[in-house]
Amino acid sequence: MIERIFPESGLSGQALDDDLLAAPFTAPGSKTWVSFNFVSSIDGAATVDGRSGALGNADDQHFFQLMRRNADVILVGAQTVRSEGYGGELLSPEAQAWRADRGLPVHPPLAIVSGSLNLDPTLEVFTDAPVRPLVITTAAAPPVRRAALAAVADVVDAGADTLDAGALLAGLAGRGLHRVHSEGGPTVLGTFAAADKVDELCLTVSPLLVGGTAKRIADVLPGGDGEGAGPRAMTLAQIHKAGSMLFLRYVRDTGPSEGPKV
């Protein structure tokens, strides 16, 4: 059972789910809210054998599904699509009904970040998508791959040679997509952290020691340094717990007078 241990709440089950989704976070002066969702072992591994699945469990999946629910767009990196096998409907029928009840489009589009456009247009993520996906790249992307993907997705540029997170968010906002929910992967988080564009990080801490050389939840492109904005303070907004698993919700630290409504 998932319970909230900070701030204390006697809520559980459906009431807790409703409360988690109730108050959208907002940033001062901006309609855009960029949220990331990750799972990590207690020693910082973001993968086991190259995927995240072994780090989670049913409670983590519940949280993961819930956090998608009020997104305007679900943002993922190309390598997460290639390794985790995204495809088909992203939301359960219950989640679709929840959105319809609130006047939201039933299906949030998936937006895939790729510099190389090394994505097969016959992947399920394109062929079985309930709404046309976006592929976000740069002007320098290979034209042949761009043309192939344009048949199955809206291919949009966010930057000339390198991806510009600010331009990416402006492009999404121009399509009315303000609540950006990202499921990673590490290079996308590293890109957004370097550009100081992370408003919220939901981190499941899985009670596992993984060891080895697994990635952590933030990374850089090969050859990049990812320094950018430097360390950014975040505020702990909520802690949920299920067994030995913790769900930490951190939001951008904007100071006492203008912090997000939690």
Ligand X SMILES: NC(=O)c1ccc[n+]([C@@H]2O[C@H](COP(=O)([O-])OP(=O)(O)OC[C@H]3O[C@@H](n4cnc5c(N)ncnc54)[C@H](OP(=O)(O)O)[C@@H]3O)[C@@H](O)[C@H]2O)c1
Site string for ligand X, 133-172 (x = CB under 6 A): ------------------------------x---------
Give the HSE-up count for residue 164: Cα atoms under 13 Å, Cβ half-sphere.
13
**CB of residue 64 to ligand X, shortest distance in Å:** 9
Closest approach, Cβ 180 to ligand X, in A, equals: 14
By CB under 6 A, the residues from 66 to 95 that bind ligand X are 76-80, 83-84
CA 61, CA 86: separation in Å to the nearest integer? 15
191-230: which residues touch ligand X (CB under 6 A)?
191, 215, 217, 219, 221
Whose tokens are 């390598």? That residue is 79
> What is d(CA 197, CA 68) in angstroms, rounded to the nearest whole number?
19
Which one, 185 or 260, has the nearer CB to ligand X? Answer: 185
Q: Which among 200, 145, 130, 195 has a CA at the least distance from the CA of 169?
A: 195
Nearer to ligand X, 13 or 88 (CB): 88
- Please give, one letter per residue, the 3-state secondary structure of 174-207: HCCCCEEEECCCHHHHHHHHHCCCCCEEEEEEEC
Residues 48-67 that bind ligand X (CB under 6 A): 50-52, 55
Please name every residue paired with 155 in a beta bridge, in sequence order, or none if there are none: 135
Q: Which is nearer to ligand X, 38 or 98 (CB)?
A: 38
- What is the binding site for ligand X (CB under 6 A)? 38-40, 46-47, 50-52, 55, 76-80, 83-84, 113-116, 118, 163, 183-188, 191, 215, 217, 219, 221
